[in-house]
Amino acid sequence: MSTSAYAALIDTFTRLYRYQHLGAFLGWDQAAMMPAKGNEARGTALAELQILLHKTLTDAALPPLLAQAKDEALDDDQQASLREMNRDWALANLLPSRLVEAQALAGSRCEHAWRTQRKENDWQGFLGNFREVLTLSREEAQTLSQAQGVSPYDALMAKFEPGTRSADIDTIFGDVKTWLPDLIRQVREKQSAESVITPKGPFPIERQRALGEEIMGVLGFDFEAGRLDISTHPFCGGVAEDVRITTRYSTDDFMQSMMGIVHESGHARYEQGLPRGTAHLPIGRARSMGIHESQSLSFEMQLGCSPAFLSLIAPLVSKHLGAQDAFAPENLARLYTRVRPGFIRVDADELTYPAHIILRYEIERALINGEIKADDIPALWAEKMKQYLGVDTLGNDRQGCLQDIHWTGGSFGYFPSYTLGAMYAAQYFATLRQTQPDLDAQVAGGNLAPIFDWLKTNIWQQASRWETPELVRRATGEALNPRHFRAHLEQRYLQG
C-alpha cells in the first residue's frame, strides 16, 4: 500500500525533531554543566548536528513530497501543518551548508569566550570572535534578503517573528518613545515620596533555590518534565517533554533570581502546555519568539509583579529566607515595581525595560543593514543609554554592550520580541479581566487556574496552528494593540 506524501513528510519532520531534541540538550549542557575545556569539541559536535539537520531539510526528495501533499485531501490542521513544513523547507534551502556550519562554530567560540570577556570588560578581546559572527550573519541576511525581497535585518527578524517588518517595529517603538520618558519621570516623582524597606542578606543560594522551586510549583511547573539549574545568562531550553530552565543567584539579592525563575517558568509552562500529539512537527511548536516572550512576561510582569501574587508568595519568602519587615506583601509590591533606570536589561524594571530593547533594536538593525561597524557599538550604546535612560556606560562594556548573550550566537532580530511579548501579555490580561473582573482576588486567594486555563486554551494548545496576528485575534478579539500596554503601565504605576 502506498504511503501518502503528507505521511512521508511526517516521517521526515519527526526525524528532524529528534535531531533537534539532541541539539537542545547539547546546548543546555554547554551553557549549564559543561567544563570549560569541552567547548571546542562540543562546538564541532553541534556544528555537525546543524549540518545533519540542514541536509535533511534540503534533501531532494522533499520538494516533490511538499508539492504532492498540496493536492491530497488534508483537513484544516494538516494544511496548517503543511504550511509550516514549507516555511522550514524554504528557509533551509536558501542557506548553503557551508554557512550553516561556519555560523555554528563561530557562535560557539564567541559565546564561550564571552563568558570570561564580559567579566573582564574586554571589548577588544570580544571583537576578535564577534567580527566573524557578524560577517556570517550579514552573509545570511543578504542571502535571505535577496530571495525574500526584504531588508537584510527584516530577513533575520522573520526567523523569530514571521511576517513582522522593521517598519512595523518602527511604528510601535516610535509611539512608545513619545510617551515613555514622561511616564518614567512621573512615576519616579510619585515613588520618591514612598518609603521602601530594603531586604537584608545574605541570602544563601540553597535557600533561594528552594524558594524558587516552591514558587515554580505554585506556577504549575511539572517537575517530572523539567528541572531548574544555573547558567551565566538565565534561559529556558530543552524540549517540550523535558524543559530545562536556568537562573543565576546573588547572595546579596534574592529578588533577581526569584523573578528570573518566575519569568523562565512562563516559557516552560508554554512548552509543557503545547499539544503533545504534534510536538514532533513544526505546527506543534511555539508560534514565535514574541508569543514565547508573552508567556514569560505574562508570568513575570502581569502576574508575578502584581500585588495579588506577591501577597500570595510573601509567606513563602519568609519561610525560606527568614522573617523580615521587607517581606511584607505591600513592601514586596513596592520593591518589584520600583522604577530605577539602570545598566542591566535583565534586571530592569517593567517601565524602563522597553528603553533597553529599543536601544538594542536600533543598534542591531543598523549593524546588519551595514550602516555601522562592530567597532562603533560601545560609543553608540553609551550615547543611547544616556539619551534613553540617563546612565553612562562609556568604558563600562561589562554593564553595557557585553551584557547580553544574543549577539554572540548571531541572534540578530530577536530583541524586538521582548517588547512585543510585553504588549501581547498586557492584551491577554486586559481580555482576561473582562471575563474575570475579580481576577486579583482569585490570585491573592491562591486560585491561578483562570489564568493558566485561558493561556492553555488560547495560546499553548494552539501552538503554530495560526499565523501570529490570527492567533492573537482569536484569543483577544483584535490583533496586537499597543494601547493595552500603555494602559497597563499607567494603571499599575500611576493609579495603583
Instruction: Tell me which of 132, 161, 264, 271 is the catalytic residue.
Output: 264
Helices (H), 350-482: 353-368, 377-389, 416-435, 439-444, 449-458, 468-476
The Cα–Cα gap between 491 and 306 comes to 12
String of DSSP letters for 133-174 = HHHHHHHHHHHHHHHHTS-HHHHHHHHHSTT--HHHHHHHHH
What sign has the CA pseudo-torsion 310, 316, 319, 322?
Answer: negative
222: helix, strand or coil: coil
Q: What are phi and psi of 13, to 5 degrees?
A: -75, -25
The Cα–Cα gap between 230 and 226 comes to 14
264 is catalytic: yes
Q: CB within 8 A of 259, min separation 6: which ones?
A: 300, 304, 305, 336
Give 244-252 contacts, CB < 8 A, sequence gap 24+: 244/25, 244/28, 244/32, 246/31, 246/32, 247/212, 249/205, 249/208, 249/209, 251/201, 251/202, 251/203, 251/204, 251/205, 252/201, 252/202, 252/203
Q: Amino acid identity of 232? A: T
Is omega for the bond preceding 307 within 30 degrees of 0, making it cis? no
The Cα–Cα gap between 188 and 279 comes to 45
Query: Cell 511526517, residue?
Result: 10
Query: Cell 494593540, residue?
Result: 481
Q: Amino acid identity of 173? A: F
The Cα–Cα gap between 318 and 316 comes to 5
Q: Contact 205/251 with Cβ under 8 angstroms?
A: yes
Q: What are phi and psi of 130, to 5 degrees?
A: -65, -35
Active site residues: 264
